[in-house]
A and B are shown apart, each in its own frame.
Chain A
Amino acid sequence: MSGRMQVISALQRVETARVPIGEIGGGYTDVIIKALLGADYQIGSDAAFQNHLKVRQLLGADIVGARVLGPPVEVIGIHEDWRTDIYSDFWGACYTQPPDATVQLVTPIANTPAELEAWQAPDVSKFDKSLIHRWKTDTDFFVLATLNAGFDLGYELLGFERFMMWTIQARKVMHAYFEKLIQTNLKLALMSVEAGADGILIADDLAFNTGTFVDPDYLRSDYLPLLKGMVSEIKKTGVPVFLHSDGDLRSIIPDLIDCNIDVLQSCDPNANMDIPALKQEYGRDLVFMGNIDVDLLASGTVAAVENTTRNLIRAARHGGGFILSTSNVVASYCKTENVRAMYAVAHKELT
């Protein structure tokens, strides 16, 4: 059975011989791909596509994540402290990546609510969707197109604290901001479907390990209706919608079901998101994906990874509705032997 069919079966609540497995987004960092492929790691033209293909074939993954691509980032200066490039993305925010560290926002898209009100979302209609098309036509992976919505992207572009304060101080402006972001991402979603995506993944972190960032009532009144509208438009095309959010979402799972989300991804055990328990309560309405702790892959033993993966599969596989993945992506600091062990168990644990 192809990877695509493995995932579709899970969505249809059909239990297949083995559980489907794969990662969202880029899935595996280049450091991990290089370590896993060794001498087979390719450089030169077309290397990124070939390496992502080979690493999924090596591990036996069923899913590939891909994006509609915007124009390349533009270098606009040098950061004073770190002497690293400052670059601007198509949304208009500026970032830098200090040595040995992750990307950091340098200049937000707005410093005041008035600036945010005047901010215009970019025109994405000419963006490049060929990568999605290529994965669909050249492989039989389930092609999961990745984009955002309004919340996670909203605070990435504004800075976290400013964003959070403005949900109270500039509520109307923030609602309009959510609308702009969601409309733009909806366009990207429809372009992705047109290019052949089998599913749409909305990456939208709404929570941390102890609960939602903001009051669930605020989400219900100001944000989730917009998300529901986006999901509804995507689902008119016939593709399923996955939602990725870190954190403890238990207080809003019924609301996410009301938004017609098909798959909830991440389900981080550190945030009390236990897939077997969630499946028992909400399995008729939601498919669950994730639950393998990235830190376990980073610091655990092979035996611990095998046991955790095996126990999860045995507890969650019944009746389909479950996709195995890490609770985020396979990070650079994960041990390759643990990544191999997780995927090997998925292929050995047969009904």
Chain B
Amino acid sequence: MSVSDNSIQQAILLGNVDSISKSVNQLLHEGVAAQSILDDQLLSGMAIVGERFKRNEMFLPQVLMSAQAMQTAIDLLKPHLLKDSTALKQQTVVIGTVKGDMHDIGKNLVRIMLIGAGFEVIDLGVNVPAQRFLETAAHHRASVVCLSALLSSTMNNMKEVVDCFRGDPDLRQTKILIGGAPVSREFSKAIGADGYAPTATDAVEKVQLLCQ
């Protein structure tokens, strides 16, 4: 086997945890660099998943399975990536549904797609107070904070989070992306966020742009 084989990519597309574990371990055993496995097969596999999901050729269950396979592979690669000082450090994204809102389907989908795209994701869950976003972003040195809300009544709590970050001298440069049914590009600008994503795949693309 070599890194040019697409067995890992296939395992990602099929969400096959057993197969991906075997393939990753075999490549590592053969001396292939962990970073190369990540870049050349895993990320490209998840990029295909994202595209297919966008085109309604893959659906939530398949995306969840792919993300699970991706996470399995990343867990196997992590010790090797940490050893390699030249390896690209994973960027961290903090994600959560804002205070007062318990909806998590959209937020979970974005989390899954972000993991699939190779980000380290800290999921704070639902009903998250502004201060918790701030503390977690500081602790993990997050590159991007993603805020979700499904309700018109709770989307205004996004502004509180943005204001907290902008008022903190150490965290005011942290990029903030918002999403959820009632929010819009205009709302994002109005509250001083750095971007708005209407879908999960858009969210990944926006996070990638914000991290550049």
Contact = CB atoms under 8 A, between A and B. Distances in A.
Interface of A: 98, 100-104, 160-161, 164-165, 167-169, 208-215, 218, 251, 270, 294-295, 298-299, 331-333
A269 B188 CA distance: 21
Interface of B: 15, 56, 59-62, 64-65, 68, 99-106, 108, 126-127, 151-153, 181-182, 199
B200 to A, nearest CB: 9
B152 A294 contact: yes
Contacts of B102: 98, 101-104
Contact of B108 (A160, A167, A168): A160
Contacts, number: 71
| Chain B contact residues, majority secondary structure | loop
A165 B61 contact: yes
B182 to A, nearest CB: 5
13 contacts: A98-B102, A100-B99, A101-B100, A102-B102, A104-B102, A160-B108, A164-B60, A164-B61, A167-B61, A168-B15, A209-B181, A218-B59, A298-B152
> In this complex, which of B60, B101, B105, B126 has the most chain A Cβ atoms within 10 angstroms of its Cβ?
B60
Contact of A104 (B61, B108, B126, B181): B126
A59 B126 CA distance: 35
B60 A101 contact: no
Contacts of B60: 164, 213-214
| Chain A contact residues, majority secondary structure | mixed
B56 A210 contact: yes
B103 to A, nearest CB: 7
Contacts of A209: 181
Contact of A102 (B64, B101, B152, B181): B101
Contacts of A270: 181
Contacts of A168: 15, 61-62, 65
A298 B199 contact: no
B181 A160 contact: no
A214 B61 contact: yes
Given A218-B59, A295-B152, 15 more contacts: A101-B99, A101-B127, A102-B101, A160-B108, A164-B60, A165-B64, A165-B68, A168-B15, A213-B60, A270-B181, A299-B182, A331-B152, A332-B153, A333-B151, A333-B153
Contacts of B106: 208
Nearest to A210: B199
Contacts of B151: 331, 333
A98 B127 contact: yes
A214 B59 CA distance: 5
Contacts of B65: 165, 168-169
> In this complex, which of B64, B99, B103 has the most chain A Cβ atoms within 10 angstroms of its Cβ?
B64
Given A100-B100, A160-B108, A333-B153, A295 B182 contact: yes
B181 A295 contact: yes
